[in-house]
Amino acid sequence: LKHPILIQGAMDSELTLLIQATAPHKFEQVGNFRFWKGAVADTPVVICKTGIGVINAAAATALAVQRYSPRCILNQGTAGAHTRALAVGDVIVGEQVCYLSSFSTERSRGEDPLNPWKPAAFQSPEGETISYHANEVMLRAAKAALADEPRVTFGCIGSGDLWTRDPSSLQALHDMHGTLCEEMEAAAVYLTANNLGVPVLSIRVISNNEGTGEPFDPNSALRAQELTLKLLSFLHT
């Protein structure tokens, strides 16, 4: 029996095309979490609607890993740009994820636009590493699959329960963490997948750039799904 590839999206608009393309023969629902079992070529695929936000995404990922033992997890969807150099429609492949909902405060407020709320990396006193890394084999597959696509960047995805609008905050996040974009699920998905030993990769299409004023474009969700299908054909070989 072949292990399926798990594909995730947060919203219906990020899933409709994928559901169509994988011709599900079975729909399963656990509470609010929805799963569609289908296939591409002869590779079994489970599509999962995670819901929006890191809490939903963590639960959905753990549940899907337990239920379906996926060989890998492909997280995909939309994201907001963290730099003016990125435009709506650009593609970000998440080599790492930086978790942006972990806060520590300074003792005094300076001129920093993000003060007092500074995203901080978790660090246990024992020096335990917390990993938000993509799988190398999946990254190589993405490099091959997206080689002829314009405007693809491999790098760091910022992730947390946030939607940042102030251009100076976006710039500060980019400068501080090297994040290219922000979205609301990948941190939970990477952390859960890394903890459970399941290969993971997130690809995101820029849907809005608050820095340049480009508003949310729903077509970005379609592009993310098209690219996911393209990548799928490189992953199942």
Q: Which residues bind ligand SAH (CB under 6 A)?
A: 10-11, 52, 77-80, 163, 182-185, 207-208, 216
User: To the nearest whole angstrom, how small is the minimum distance from the Cβ of residue 214 to ligand SAH?
Assistant: 11
Nearer to ligand SAH, 52 or 222 (CB): 52
User: To the nearest whole angstrom, how small is the minimum distance from the Cβ of residue 38 to ligand SAH?
Assistant: 22
User: To the nearest whole angstrom, how small is the minimum distance from the Cβ of residue 91 to ligand SAH?
Assistant: 14
For residue 171, give the amino acid letter: Q
Nearest residue to 132 (alpha-carbon basis) of 101, 174, 173: 101
Nearer to ligand SAH, 208 or 228 (CB): 208
Rounded to whole angstroms, the Cα distance separating 220 from 208 reads: 9
Nearer to ligand SAH, 78 or 135 (CB): 78
User: To the nearest whole angstrom, how small is the minimum distance from the Cβ of residue 157 to ligand SAH?
Assistant: 10
- CB 14, CB 61: distance < 8 Å: no
Nearer to ligand SAH, 90 or 182 (CB): 182
- CA–CA distances in Å: residue 83 to residues 47, 78, 214: 31, 15, 12
- CA–CA distances in Å: residue 10 to residues 47, 120, 157: 11, 25, 16
Rounded to whole angstroms, the Cα distance separating 121 from 133 reads: 14
User: To the nearest whole angstrom, how small is the minimum distance from the Cβ of residue 220 to ligand SAH?
Assistant: 8
The residue sitting closest to ligand SAH, measured at its beta carbon, is 80
Residue 34: partners with Cβ closer than 8 Å, 6 or more residues away: 27, 28, 48, 49
Nearer to ligand SAH, 14 or 95 (CB): 14
- CA–CA distances in Å: residue 211 to residues 99, 108, 165, 168, 215: 20, 28, 7, 8, 10
User: To the nearest whole angstrom, how small is the minimum distance from the Cβ of residue 163 to ligand SAH?
Assistant: 4
Nearer to ligand SAH, 4 or 51 (CB): 51
Nearer to ligand SAH, 43 or 50 (CB): 50
Rounded to whole angstroms, the Cα distance separating 61 from 8 reads: 9
Residue 108: partners with Cβ closer than 8 Å, 6 or more residues away: none
User: To the nearest whole angstrom, how small is the minimum distance from the Cβ of residue 79 to ligand SAH?
Assistant: 5
